[in-house]
Amino acid sequence: MATRARILVVDEHAQARQMAELLDAAGFEAVTADSAEEAIFLAANAPPDLAVLDVHMPKLSGFELAKVLRDQFSIPFVFLTLVDDDSTVHAASEVGALAYLCKSGDVQHHLPALKTAVALAQEVRKLRKREAGLSEALEERREISIAIGILIERHRLSRDAAFEMLRNHARGRRQRIQEVAIELLNSVERLNDLSAVPAKRVQGC
């Protein structure tokens, strides 16, 4: 059974409850928060797939909360608010909102836009995950390549022979090749640090 997308609705007004009920009926898992502080607590303990924010809230504004959700938790968000002016819409775009919706009497009108935002948020999350995996793979290859280069220089080996030496060492120690490569790089770094320390002159010499 597929996991339901989780949506956090942050709004101190009663309409937040209506929105949550509508989202639940539409197949989402909706939770509400009356303040930015409560929203941050919920985001830290059970990160939502999408946050729906009002612009004007006590203490932290919707824009300030959006930056926290974006920078600390990488949570996508949309704004659903009564504020409807060009400068505010522009500010929402600048902070990275997926959508900017103006409140109407019938919250049902916003459901299509929210469904689209959830789908977009999930795609963004997949892309970030893919990028993180690619970055990790590139970093792993970089460390292994440097370690192979060290073995080539120290032992006058071909690239294939150096890689085989690294792989055999990893197998013998039941480690990943990357782990052995990192140990080698750390050892070389420590040796270089020692070599950089000038020897103390002994009296009488």
What is the CATH classification number for the domain harbouring 73? 3.40.50.2300
Residue identified by tokens 């420590």 is: 190
Tell me, yes or no, whether 109 lies in a domain.
Answer: no
Please give the DSSP secondary-structure letter assigned to residue 107: G
186: pLDDT strictly greater than 80: yes
Report whether 52 contacts 80 (CB < 8 A). yes
Residues 95, 20, single domain; the answer is yes
- Judged against a pLDDT cut of 80, whether residue 180 lies above it is answered with yes
pTM for the structure as a whole? 0.62
Asked if residue 158 is part of any domain, the answer here is: yes
Please indicate, yes or no, whether residues 27 and 76 belong to a single structural domain of this protein. yes
Per-residue pLDDT reduced to its tens digit, 149-160? 888 888 888 888
To the nearest whole number, what is the mean pLDDT of the chain? Answer: 83
One domain for residues 93 and 27:
yes
Tell me how far apart the alpha carbons of residues 176 and 110 are, in angstroms, rounded to a whole number: 50
CATH number at residue 172: 1.10.10.10
> Are 54 and 96 contained in the same domain?
yes
Check residue 156 and give left, alpha or beta (phi > 0: left; psi -120 to 50: alpha): left
Q: Confirm whether 68 is domain-assigned.
A: yes
141 and 98 assigned to the same domain: no
User: Do 10 and 98 lie in a common domain?
Assistant: yes
Q: Which domain holds residue 163?
A: 131-195
* 112 occurs within a structural domain: no
Percentage with pLDDT > 90 across the chain: 24
How many angstroms separate the CA atoms of 122 and 33, rounded? 22
Q: Could you tell me if 53 and 142 are in contact, meaning their C-beta atoms sit under 8 angstroms apart?
A: no
Measured from the Cβ of residue 197, the count of other Cβ atoms closer than 10 Å reads: 7
Across 59-78, b (16+ Cβ under 10 Å) vs e yields: ebebbebbebbbeeeebbbb
Give the CA count within 13 Å in the CB-facing half-sphere of 184.
25
